[in-house]
Amino acid sequence: MYQNNRVVLLLSGGIDSTVLLYWLIKEKYEVFPLIINYGQVTYNSEYQHSVNILNDFKMKDLYSIDVSQLSKIGKGALTGQYPDDLTSNEEWYDKEFFPNRNLILLTLASNYAYKINADNLAIGLVGDSYRDTSMDFLNSFKDCLEKSLIPMHIIAPFTEKKREEVIKQAIDLRVPLNKTFSCNALSGRHCQLCNSCYERQVSLNMFFTLEH
């Protein structure tokens, strides 16, 4: 069904999409990295870190799509709506939620894939913290693509798996996690408060523990 090894990778400069980039290259995919500006306050840092990571592979072609007006119909910390007095991961998850983000990103990625004749989409989802990070969501989107466009393979090897598996891959693939950026509240630096920053720190602690 899938005729080629071209893959459009949704890249954000974060740990998960960076580990997936290394994984795809190891698996001999021809990677077309794509970053999308949907109005998130973290976009500039996401873009710069993505460029720096791709430079390690001498990859110069980071395709960027600007749909930043989507922030007007979004919500949460990614659009600058910062929460107050949050004390739990569950509260942060709720306040960081951007409605239909993965649906939007995958839809745009599929258009790009169709344009360049790529049979594969790749997205670095880990766990199932939101409805649009589950395998059920990905399978539903895949079914939708078959009806609305063409059949495409969705590569998401870490979906519904524990973060430890991502970190083990990072160690095996020698991924420079220090070059990544993961924040859902600020651009330019990590806020050290949001859930994304918390998960990044957990990942880094796990990385150094498992590596040694």
Among 52-56, 67-71, 180-184, the minimum mean pLDDT is found in 180-184
Task: Decide if pLDDT at 98 tops 90.
Answer: no
Ranges of beta strands (E only) in the chain are: 6-10, 30-37, 63-66, 120-122, 153-155
What tens digit of pLDDT does each residue of 155-164 get?
999 998 888 9
Q: Backbone phi, then psi, for 81, in 5-degree steps? A: -90, 85
Tell me the C-alpha distance between 45 and 184, whole Å: 11
CA distance 167 to 154: 21
